[in-house]
A and B are shown apart, each in its own frame.
Chain A
Amino acid sequence: MTNSIAELEDAKVILIVGSNTTEQHPIIGERILAAARKGAKLIVIDPRAIHLSGFAEVFLRPRPGSEVAYLNGLINVIISEGLEDSEFIAARTEGFEELKQAVAEYTPQKVEEISGIPAEDLVAAARIYAGSERASIVYCMGITQHSTGTDNVLSLANLAMLTGNVGKPGTGVNPLRGQNNVQGACDVGGLPNVYTGYQRVDSEEVAKKFEAAWGVEGLSRQPGLTLTEMMDKAARGELKALFIMGENPMVSDPDLGHVREALDKLEFLAVADIMENETLELSHVVLPAASFAEKDGTITNTERRVQRIRKAVEPVGDSRPDWEIVCALARKMGASGFDFTSPEEVFEEIRKVTPSYAGITYKRLGTQGLQWPVPDEDHPGTPILHAESFPIGKGKFTPCEFREPAEMPDAEYPLLLTTGRLLFHYHTGTMTRRSPSLVREIDRAFVEVNPADAAELGIGDGEAVKVSSRRGSVEVNAKVTDKVGKGVIFMPFHFAEAAANVLTNSALDPVSKIPEFKVCSARIET
């Protein structure tokens, strides 16, 4: 997030797009409702009716996959009505003319044809967003999990910069991170192209810095493979060995048939995890890991707040914290530089090599945490990014052209399948489905079908159906509901026995390499 969660309450307008906030981030959803109670206007853009859409000034329900079209449409309306922030554009940005030209053809009428959003609703949303002094954008995987995910995010950045909604309280472009430490895993170098703090592996200067810090030579300057690329290489027999820490790709990844084939081909697969899961059956070695309540450490939330977790009890059985496991493995492989006796010692090394974490210590974190960047130990942390300038100087408008999703409904697979989470479960369910209070709420998969489609297909509410795509099929019960629009079906992906990801498409965004979980074509049979 460029801004902070608490600030949402001070926004005058909140644009919620591709985020079912109440279910996926309930406490942030509550903060958004608190803002609405204080008079903030909500604009909700989502292919499904969600809790927040019931409180929205305007609710736009686009066809999944039409994001760039309708975001360009909003920009088109704002520019054609002269609602842009000319002062901000002149002082802080470049490329406005190119953006103006690129969006010229995305008239509300054309956007209606592509997305199904009524032209007058699009215009109303644009006027509300641009007409306020403080408008915040909140988005989630409904924006990113597309083969055009990067363009979708750039379009949101265009929209925010166009209206000067950057660098001030209650504004910004605010992605909500789904996993508890996605932000931190990225911050500390759990990515193929960067070391900690987003320092690039292909920079000679950076590589030399890490060679000195770690006391090694010859660190690879070649960016590595993303997770989905590793799967593809494994399937082709080019990746031979894989170590998985705390991840269950046999439920979480797109096109699970392909994942199985890939993992099966590996010469060696080791998994460290807290729970039995679907990936273990393909592993050669399984290492039992300690849970969050059994170890110390830090995690970083979606607003860049580094926070402590603390050991409350001893690990169950012979399980060990992952930090101990990785250190022991490195020593086993003959490495030096892994003689840590506590997570705090590891953190001290992290902050030495990571400018944005340099001023953070366990002592300073206390029970409130600190928001990076924290360049030194006297720095109070940074609730709002880009207040004075962008890291690259001026903010650059990046015009984006609409592209169709990789797979669209056709005669054979006439429905559009989109996927997501439920309030009561988390990702692949390895934790929440072992929690009695949560299992009591819901413990089985379903598919949401619009009443018009259900009538056409002769499907009754609660009826068992088979949902198929080009990649496989699963059996679930139908939930007939107008939460989804006609032609669109929705499945949660938590349930391994009826895994939505058997159906999803592994087509990738060319830049972010994110799979297109949110759109594939499917059909339903009784």
Chain B
Amino acid sequence: MAENGSEMNYRLVPSTCVYCGTGCGVLLEVTGDRLSGTLPQKDHPVSKGALCIKGWSVHEFVYSERRLTKPMVRSGEVLVETDWEAALAAVADGLSAARDKHGPDSVGFFASARCTNEENYLLQKLARAVVGTNNVDHCARL
């Protein structure tokens, strides 16, 4: 940023496109505190500076109006906004109640081929080490 703070801060953040299993190298353009575009990574071993139309626009969905921004808990027919504390407590209660009443294998977990390795690792650890079931799978088959 310029000394007077008036100039827009522009950065490139190296990342990986998330639209298919090819794993093309992208540079996310950040202007100020917002994503402003996507560029190809020239020296990437897979994509070598190329991107498809999905790759060039991979930043666009991030600011969709349909992004979920608040935890929600069901109250009758509708989902109502709540805070993280209450939402996480509700999930912990829901999973624990099923496990305590019907056994660990009455609980299931869907991991995600769209989440990171770290997140999938943690979810299967939660299923196996905390709930006590191997009922964990993801959409590899779909």
B61 contacts A424, CB within 8 Å? no
A284 contacts B113, CB within 8 Å? no
A193 contacts B134, CB within 8 Å? yes
**A144–chain B nearest beta-carbon distance, Å:** 8
Q: Which residues of A contact B28 (CB under 8 A)?
A: 293, 310, 312
Q: Which stretch in A47-55, A95-103, A245-253 binds the other chain?
A: A245-253
Per the bound structure, the CA–CA distance linking A179 and B22 in Å amounts to: 9
Instruction: List the B residue with the shortest CB-CB distance to A196.
Output: B121
B35 contacts A293, CB within 8 Å? yes
**A170–chain B nearest beta-carbon distance, Å:** 16
Q: Which residues of B contact A309 (CB under 8 A)?
A: 15-16, 18, 116
B74 contacts A434, CB within 8 Å? no
Number of A-B contacts (CB under 8 A): 454
Instruction: List the B residue with the shortest CB-CB distance to A179.
Output: B113
**B60–chain A nearest beta-carbon distance, Å:** 4
A185 contacts B113, CB within 8 Å? yes
**A458–chain B nearest beta-carbon distance, Å:** 35
Residue-by-residue, is B64-80 near A (CB-CB < 8 Å gives 1, otherwise 0)? 11111111111000010
A323 contacts B119, CB within 8 Å? yes
A281-337 contacts to B (CB < 8 Å)? 283-289, 291-295, 297-303, 305-314, 316-323, 325-330, 332-333, 335, 337
Does A216 sit within 8 A of B, measured CB to CB?
yes
B79 contacts A286, CB within 8 Å? yes
Does A413 sit within 8 A of B, measured CB to CB?
no
A321 contacts B95, CB within 8 Å? no
B134 contact from A201, A302, A436, Cβ within 8 A: A201
Per the bound structure, the CA–CA distance linking A312 and B122 in Å amounts to: 23
Per the bound structure, the CA–CA distance linking A308 and B26 in Å amounts to: 11
**B111–chain A nearest beta-carbon distance, Å:** 3
B88 contact from A268, A329, A515, Cβ within 8 A: A329
A317 contacts B70, CB within 8 Å? yes
Known: A192-B136, A246-B115. A437 touches B129 (CB 8 A): no
A219 contact from B65, B107, B129, Cβ within 8 A: B129
B114 contacts A191, CB within 8 Å? no
**B110–chain A nearest beta-carbon distance, Å:** 4
Per the bound structure, the CA–CA distance linking A245 and B11 in Å amounts to: 30
Q: What secondary structure prevails in chain B residues at the interface with A?
A: mixed
A307 contacts B69, CB within 8 Å? no
Q: Which residues of A contact B64 (CB under 8 A)?
A: 275, 431, 434-435
B108 contacts A230, CB within 8 Å? yes
**A356–chain B nearest beta-carbon distance, Å:** 12
A310 contacts B15, CB within 8 Å? yes
B133 contact from A180, A220, A514, Cβ within 8 A: A220
Instruction: List the A residue with the shortest CB-CB distance to B112.
Output: A246
B104-134 contacts to A (CB < 8 Å)? 104-134
Q: Which stretch in A20-28, A68-76, A161-169 binds the other chain?
A: A20-28
Q: Which residues of A contact B34 (CB under 8 A)?
A: 313
B23 contacts A298, CB within 8 Å? no
Does A374 sit within 8 A of B, measured CB to CB?
no
A298 contacts B95, CB within 8 Å? no
B92 contacts A329, CB within 8 Å? yes
B23 contacts A299, CB within 8 Å? yes
Q: Which residues of A contact B41 (CB under 8 A)?
A: 367
Q: Which stretch in A108-116, A233-241, A394-402, A469-477 binds the other chain?
A: A233-241
Q: Which residues of A contact B45 (CB under 8 A)?
A: 6, 305, 368-369
Interface centre among B64, B72, B114, B140 (most CB of A within 10 A): B114
B116 contacts A184, CB within 8 Å? yes
**B11–chain A nearest beta-carbon distance, Å:** 8
B141 contacts A514, CB within 8 Å? yes
Q: Which residues of B contact A313 (CB under 8 A)?
A: 30, 33-35, 62
A227 contacts B137, CB within 8 Å? yes
A434 contact from B20, B60, B104, B111, Cβ within 8 A: B60
A225 contacts B135, CB within 8 Å? yes
A298 contact from B20, B63, B92, B117, Cβ within 8 A: B117
Residue-by-residue, is B1-22 near A (CB-CB < 8 Å gives 1, otherwise 0)? 0000000000101111111111
A307 contacts B122, CB within 8 Å? no
A220 contacts B112, CB within 8 Å? no
Does A80 sit within 8 A of B, measured CB to CB?
no
Pairs across A and B, CB under 8 Å, 20 listed: A181-B116, A191-B136, A192-B134, A220-B104, A224-B108, A225-B135, A227-B137, A242-B107, A286-B71, A307-B25, A308-B14, A313-B33, A317-B69, A323-B116, A323-B122, A328-B88, A330-B125, A369-B45, A432-B19, A432-B61
Interface pairs A-B: 7 shortest CB-CB? A317-B69, A301-B23, A177-B21, A224-B134, A297-B116, A246-B112, A179-B113
In addition to A27-B46, A267-B98, A302-B23, 7 A-B residue pairs with Cβ atoms within 8 Å of each other are A224-B134, A227-B138, A240-B102, A241-B107, A243-B110, A295-B116, A313-B35
